[in-house]
Amino acid sequence: MCGIAGLIDPKRSRDEGLAIVGRMGAAMVHRGPDDEGVAALTGATIGMRRLAIFDPANGQQPMRTPDGRLTLVFNGAIYNYRELRAELAATWSFRTECDTEVLLAAYARWGGECVRRLRGMFAFAVWNESERTLFLARDPLGIKPLYYRHDGATLAFASELNALLAGGTFAPSIDPGSVNDYLGWLAVPAPRTIYYDVLSLEPGQCATFASGQLNLRATWNFSGIPSDIPVCRSATEFTAELRRRLDDTIRAHVLADVPVGAFLSGGLDSTAVVGLMTRATGARLRTFSVVFDEAGYSEANAAAATARHFGTDHTAALVTGADVARDLDGIVAGLDQPSGDGINTYYASRAAHARGVKVALSGLGGDELFGGYPSFSQVPRLARWLPAWRAVPAGLRTTIVTRLNRGDTRRRKLGDILSHATSRQEIAALQRRVFSDGTRASLLTDDARTQIPDQSPFHPRLHELTADLASAGDFELASGWELRTYMTDVLLRDSDAMSMRHSLELRVPFVDRPLIEWLWRQPAEFKSTPAHPKSALAAAVGDLLPPGLADRPKRGFTMPFAVWMKRDLRPFLDDTFTAASVGRSGLFEPAVVQQLWRGFLAQDDVREWSRVWSLAMMLAFVNRSRG
């Protein structure tokens, strides 16, 4: 795990390039406190900060081929590096035992096509000295980030936006269109970022930069999943094969030359991961959970019982509202894009780092693969009713939607979908929307609204995913949307940012390309049943689970923000929502923002807190960035 950075600018002197990339690396010390390196090449400078996981004594980067033609910087982990090493050994004399050298050898042999052979999480860059070209790639599911700025003749890239800014080659400017996207989806969906003219490489995408031209191409999508994957003929066969594949992904993800632990909430996903890890390693694991004084939110008892069941060395990190209030400046400073999520990962990662763990596994991805979200039932149900709804007279539809929009958060979301959706794809594209069109428009100033080119109510990936998921069944449609939007743009991005703040490599074994591709081709009825979400996962690991866990109702992890925002966090929020603070942002209407805040304080809709908190975090981010 590392932070990588680079600048391709033939007009810069060697010393200028080293200074710029040096500043970018210094801004990412937390991503790689173990080592650093910078290479000055012909018209290019690339560098890295290393968190040493495989072969810690070796594997320094940037890493070059023996002939000096290729130079690599790499962030992530290649889980099948041993298999690839064996395949490449006939043409490459390996000097280290790390995955970085295997990746370099793979690129030297197969070029950009090597990404199709990689199993892991990665973002990497390769400079070709003889051709004066740069190759960039990001893993298929977007576990590792990679940002870039291309202004024609030059290209800068880094693992974090803050690192790009630290280079000092451009003056950042907040993009109102990205702010509008954030209000809609709790994140800025790739390829855009919060800043004008700074982009994110999309999941499963690679790029080649040559002579000032940047060419992008996709290397993975759902429609390209092989169709010849064997399909299970019975639920019994499926359960047995799923267990075999879960064992396989855990064995791959626990590979490391440093201590490995796990996040343990007490729910099915993390319990399955810990149980499979215990079986795979035969060692006593270190596990970590975040717990609260507020009993209605805390899973302390469930996590502790699960830890006892597996005999883990368990740490329960108590987090209070006062803790979050105290640490908030540091949390906001560590974000390279605004987020209303991820604080639980921040504290769990801090606890793991304090116990000497450098790698931790998480159950993230279980809901997206096994039907754990309401979207898996809501999208097909709404799609079935949609023709009848569209046949209702327009005036009556308007009246019904108006009444829904006066209700609580759940009713307003339903009203939003009924107002706009005309197909199941459009229903899926609205499932995760936070603020409706009307609310977003009222929150933003007139000047900000005029700078927003796309006023569509739908997620920016609607057209892309409509084409990619055209032949998908209802289950796969919901899964694909969750994987490509909420998981990628919110969960994975925030998990990377918050874990790396504490120099922790966070691995997500459910977000594993071979596992996902196999599951994609299996019958939907085997993967989940409407009455029992994630029943397939529970059946596959049933022999490992603590008694009663499989029958426990699903309970989404939620921190007590609805309580803290009216108590410990209220001074921060009162200050953030003052007319002066809102006005300083230059983006939001103070009166509308304050009305939203007062409305939250006056009512008890526990689902409303995330909207108010996400807006506060955006304001705090913007005001901090503007000094």
DSSP line for 82-99: HHHHHHHTTT-----SSH
224 Cβ neighbours under 8 A, 6+ residues apart: none
Instruction: Please report where in the chains the tokens 């790390």 appear, as a residue.
Output: 98
- Three-class SS state of 317: strand
pLDDT for the residue 551: 62
pLDDT for the residue 552: 63
pLDDT for the residue 124: 98
pLDDT for the residue 298: 82
User: 295, 287, 247, 292: which is closest to 270 by C-alpha?
Assistant: 287
Using CA atoms, how far apart are residues 34 and 49, in angstroms rounded to an integer?
A: 7
10-residue mean pLDDT series, the chain (627 residues): 93 96 97 95 96 92 96 97 96 95 98 97 98 97 98 95 96 95 94 97 97 96 96 97 98 95 94 97 95 86 93 96 95 89 95 97 97 94 93 92 85 89 95 89 94 87 96 96 97 96 97 98 91 91 86 68 95 97 96 95 85 96 85
Residue 319 gets which letter from DSSP? -
pLDDT for the residue 152: 86
Using CA atoms, how far apart are residues 391 and 548, in angstroms rounded to an integer?
A: 46
Burial of 610 (0-12, 13-18, 19+ CB in 10 A): middle
Rounded-to-10 torsion of CA 277, 97, 134, 201: 10
Give residue 173's identity as a one-letter amino acid code: S
Total residues belonging to the chain: 627
pLDDT for the residue 556: 57
Task: Output the DSSP codes for 160-208.
Answer: SHHHHHHTTSS---B-HHHHHHHHHHSS--TTB-SBTT-EEPPTTEEEE
Q: With contact defined as beta carbons under 8 Å apart, do 21 and 38 qualify?
A: yes
Using CA atoms, how far apart are residues 455 and 450, in angstroms rounded to an integer?
A: 10
Residue 554 gets which letter from DSSP? P
- Residue 216 β-bridge partners: 207
The arrangement of strands across the sheet holding 359-361 comes to 313-318, 286-291, 260-263, 359-361, 505-507
Using CA atoms, how far apart are residues 350 and 490, in angstroms rounded to an integer?
A: 20
User: 162, 594, 463: which is closest to 335 by C-alpha?
Assistant: 162
In whole angstroms, what separates CA 309 from the centre of its chain? 30
Using CA atoms, how far apart are residues 250 and 510, in angstroms rounded to an integer?
A: 9
Looking at the whole model, is its pTM more than 0.85?
Answer: yes
Instruction: Please report where in the chains the tokens 């962030």 appear, as a residue.
Output: 75
In whole angstroms, what separates CA 570 from the centre of its chain? 28
pLDDT for the residue 455: 77
Q: With contact defined as beta carbons under 8 Å apart, do 264 and 303 qualify?
A: yes
Instruction: Please report where in the chains the tokens 């989404």 appear, as a residue.
Output: 556
pLDDT for the residue 407: 81
Using CA atoms, how far apart are residues 281 and 303, in angstroms rounded to an integer?
A: 20
267 Cβ neighbours under 8 A, 6+ residues apart: 299, 302, 363, 554, 555, 557
Give residue 183's identity as a one-letter amino acid code: L
pLDDT for the residue 1: 67
Q: With contact defined as beta carbons under 8 Å apart, do 355 and 286 qualify?
A: yes
Tokens (6 digits) for 227: 């169709």
Using CA atoms, how far apart are residues 417 and 252, in angstroms rounded to an integer?
A: 41
pLDDT for the residue 8: 98
H or E segment at 76? strand 70-78
Using CA atoms, how far apart are residues 310 and 487, in angstroms rounded to an integer?
A: 28
Q: What are phi and psi of 342, to 5 degrees?
A: 90, -5
What is the end-to-end Cα distance of the chain in Å, rounded? 31
Q: How many CB atoms lie within 10 A of CB 279?
A: 15
Using CA atoms, how far apart are residues 575 and 221, in angstroms rounded to an integer?
A: 44
Per-residue pLDDT reduced to its tens digit, 282-296: 999 999 999 999 888
The arrangement of strands across the sheet holding 2-8 comes to 35-40, 44-50, 2-8, 155-158, 147-150, 199-200
pLDDT for the residue 530: 78
152 Cβ neighbours under 8 A, 6+ residues apart: 212
Using CA atoms, how far apart are residues 182 and 502, in angstroms rounded to an integer?
A: 25
Tokens (6 digits) for 356: 């000497």
pLDDT for the residue 408: 81
Structural domains in the chain, CATH included, are 2-220 (3.60.20.10), 224-371+492-540 (3.40.50.620), 560-627 (no CATH)
